[in-house]
Amino acid sequence: MLLRHLPAVLLTVSLFLVQGFLAAQNFKFNTQPRGVRLNVQNVLQVEQDTLGRMWFSTGRGVVYSDGIETYELPDTLIRRFVYKIGLLKDEDGILWIYNASGFPTVLERKHDAWSEFQFSDSLKSYFSSKIHLFSIGKSTEKLFFLETGRDLVAWKNGERIERKISRDISATGHLLAVSEVADKIILIFKNGTFELKSGELFPYQFRGVPLPSSPVLIKKSPSGTYYFLGKDYLASGPAAEFPTEIIDQDFSTINFVEEDYFSLVFSGENVFYHYNSHLKKYNHTGKRSVLIDLSSLFRAVYIQTAFIDREGLLWVGTSRGIGVNNSQVFQNYGIDMDVFLAEEFTASIESSPGEFLFGFNNGIQKMSRFDVETLYQGKDGPQTPNERIINFSKDKNGVIWVSANFKGLGKIVPNYKRVSFLPIPEGLNVSSVQAVGDSLLITSPKRVFISSISAPNSGFFEKELTSEILKLLGDVAPHFRKSGKLSNGKLVVLRASRLENQYPIIETPRYFLAEGYDFLEMEDGSILLGTEFGLKIYREGYVGFFIYAGSSITRPIYTLMKDKTGKIWAGTDNGVVVIGEDKIIQYDESNGLIGNEVNRGALIEAASGRVLIGTMKGLSIYFPEEKFFAYGAPKAFVKSMKLGNREILNSEEFKVPYDQNSLEVEFFAPGFNESKELWVHHRLIRGDEQTPWEIVKDPRSNQLFFSNLPSGSYRLEFKTSYNGLEFSDTFRSKEFEILSPFYLRPWFIVFAVLFLVALGILINTFFKQLQNLGILQSAVERENKSKVIAEQQFKNVWNSSQDGMILTFENERILTVNPAFARMMGTEIKKLENQPLAVLFNSKTSLNFYLDTLLNRARNSPGQGISVEAQLDWKPGPLEMEVFSVMLDQDKEGKSLVLSVFKDISAQKNVQNKLKEAKEKAEQANRFKSSLLSNISHEIRTPLNGIIGGAEHIIMTKKEDLQLVSQLDIILQSGERLLGTINSLLDLAKMEANKFPIEYAETDVKNFVETVMRPLQAAADRKGLHFAFRFLSPAFHAKIDRRFMEMILNNIVSNSIKYTEKGLITVECEKKDKQLILEVTDTGVGMSENFQSKMFDPFEQESKGHDRLFEGTGLGLSITKNLVQLLDGKIDIQSIKNSGTRVIVEIPLPEA
Report pLDDT digits (tens) over 367-393.
987 788 999 999 888 889 999 999 999
1015 and 944, same structural domain?
Answer: no
Buried b (16+ CB within 10 A) or exposed e, 865-899: bbeeeeebbbeeeebbbbbbbbbeeeeeeeebebb
Backbone angles phi, psi at 343, to 5 degrees: -75, -40
Which tens digit of pLDDT belongs to each residue from 585-609? 999 988 889 999 999 999 999 998 9
- CATH code of the domain in which 735 resides: 2.60.40.10
Number of domains in the chain: 4
Which tens digit of pLDDT belongs to each residue from 1037-1065? 988 888 888 888 888 898 888 889 888 99
Residues 6+ apart with CB under 8 A from 925: none
Residue 632 forms part of a structural domain: no
921 and 864, same structural domain?
Answer: no
* Alpha-carbon span 154 to 156, nearest angstrom: 7
* Alpha-carbon span 633 to 67, nearest angstrom: 13
Name residue 566's amino acid.
G
Last residue of a domain, one of 744, 779, 810: 744
Residue 387 forms part of a structural domain: no
Instruction: Sheet containing 132-136: give its strands across.
Output: 132-136, 143-147, 152-156, 163-164
Residue 86 pLDDT > 80: yes
1144 and 1007, same structural domain?
Answer: yes
> How many CA atoms within 13 Å lie on the side-chain side of 813?
6
Residue 1108 forms part of a structural domain: yes
Q: What is the DSSP letter of 946?
A: H
In terms of Cα–Cα distance, which of 433, 446, 530, 528 is closest to 486?
A: 528
Which tens digit of pLDDT belongs to each residue from 479-508? 999 999 999 999 999 999 887 777 889 999
In terms of Cα–Cα distance, which of 543, 454, 455 is closest to 497?
A: 543
Residue 197 forms part of a structural domain: no
* Alpha-carbon span 736 to 656, nearest angstrom: 8
Q: Is 497 buried (19+), middle (13-18) or exposed (0-12) by CB count in 10 A?
A: middle
Predicted local distance difference test score (pLDDT) of residue 288 = 81
Strand, coil or helix: what is 320? coil
Which tens digit of pLDDT belongs to each residue from 445-463? 999 999 999 999 888 999 9
* Alpha-carbon span 423 to 435, nearest angstrom: 18
* Alpha-carbon span 1096 to 1093, nearest angstrom: 8
Q: How distant is the alpha carbon of residue 896 from its chain centre?
A: 83
- The CA dihedral of 611, 612, 615, 618, to the nearest 10 degrees, is 130
Distances 497 to 532, 567, 572 between C-alpha atoms, Å: 7, 27, 16
Residues 6+ apart with CB under 8 A from 428: 408, 444, 447, 461
Residue 676 forms part of a structural domain: yes
Residue 221 pLDDT > 50: yes
846 and 897, same structural domain?
Answer: yes
Residue 7 pLDDT > 60: no
> How many other C-beta atoms are found inside a 10 Å radius of the C-beta of residue 691?
14
Residue 1148 pLDDT > 60: yes
Binning the chain into helix, strand and coil, the percentages to the nearest 5 are 20, 40, 40
Q: How distant is the alpha carbon of residue 974 from its chain centre?
A: 62
Beta strand 866-873 with 813-817 is unpaired
Q: What is the DSSP letter of 1065?
A: E
Predicted local distance difference test score (pLDDT) of residue 932 = 65
943 and 883, same structural domain?
Answer: no
Backbone angles phi, psi at 333, to 5 degrees: -130, 110
* Alpha-carbon span 157 to 91, nearest angstrom: 12
1051 and 1127, same structural domain?
Answer: yes
* Alpha-carbon span 613 to 575, nearest angstrom: 9
1133 and 1011, same structural domain?
Answer: yes
Angle at alpha carbon of residue 258, lines to 257 and 262, rounded to 5°: 65
Of the chain, the end-to-end C-alpha distance in Å amounts to: 58
Q: How distant is the alpha carbon of residue 588 from its chain centre?
A: 20
What are the residues facing 57 on neighbouring strands?
Answer: 45, 62
- CATH code of the domain in which 810 resides: 3.30.450.20
Predicted local distance difference test score (pLDDT) of residue 20 = 36
Predicted local distance difference test score (pLDDT) of residue 596 = 92
* Alpha-carbon span 38 to 817, nearest angstrom: 98
Q: Is 166 buried (19+), middle (13-18) or exposed (0-12) by CB count in 10 A?
A: exposed
Which tens digit of pLDDT belongs to each residue from 247-266? 999 988 876 667 889 999 99
862 and 734, same structural domain?
Answer: no
What are the residues facing 535 on neighbouring strands?
Answer: 530
Backbone angles phi, psi at 452, to 5 degrees: -85, 145
Least reliable range by pLDDT among 206-210, 890-894, 900-904: 890-894
Which tens digit of pLDDT belongs to each residue from 685-711? 988 888 899 999 989 888 999 988 888
Residues 6+ apart with CB under 8 A from 1060: 1023, 1025, 1082, 1083, 1084, 1085, 1140
865 and 944, same structural domain?
Answer: no
- pLDDT band, residue 1107 (cuts 50/70/90): very low
Angle at alpha carbon of residue 685, lines to 684 and 688, rounded to 5°: 175
1005 and 891, same structural domain?
Answer: no
Domain of 925 in residue numbering reads as 910-974
Distances 460 to 412, 482, 566 between C-alpha atoms, Å: 15, 17, 35
| Spatial contact of 868 and 849, defined as CB atoms under 8 Å apart | no
Which tens digit of pLDDT belongs to each residue from 1011-1035? 888 888 888 898 888 999 999 889 8
Residue 740 forms part of a structural domain: yes
Residues 6+ apart with CB under 8 A from 892: none
Buried b (16+ CB within 10 A) or exposed e, 824-846: bbeeeeeebeeeebeebbeeeeb
E strands, 423-479, are 432-436, 439-443, 448-452
947 and 823, same structural domain?
Answer: no
Predicted local distance difference test score (pLDDT) of residue 1106 = 44
Which tens digit of pLDDT belongs to each residue from 512-554? 999 999 999 999 999 999 999 999 999 988 999 999 988 999 9
1131 and 1002, same structural domain?
Answer: yes
Residue 576 pLDDT > 60: yes
- CATH code of the domain in which 1115 resides: 3.30.565.10
Name residue 21's amino acid.
F
Residue 79 pLDDT > 80: yes
| Spatial contact of 356 and 350, defined as CB atoms under 8 Å apart | yes
Residue 183 forms part of a structural domain: no
Q: Is 987 buried (19+), middle (13-18) or exposed (0-12) by CB count in 10 A?
A: middle
Last residue of a domain, one of 873, 904, 935: 904
Residue 355 forms part of a structural domain: no
- pLDDT band, residue 916 (cuts 50/70/90): confident
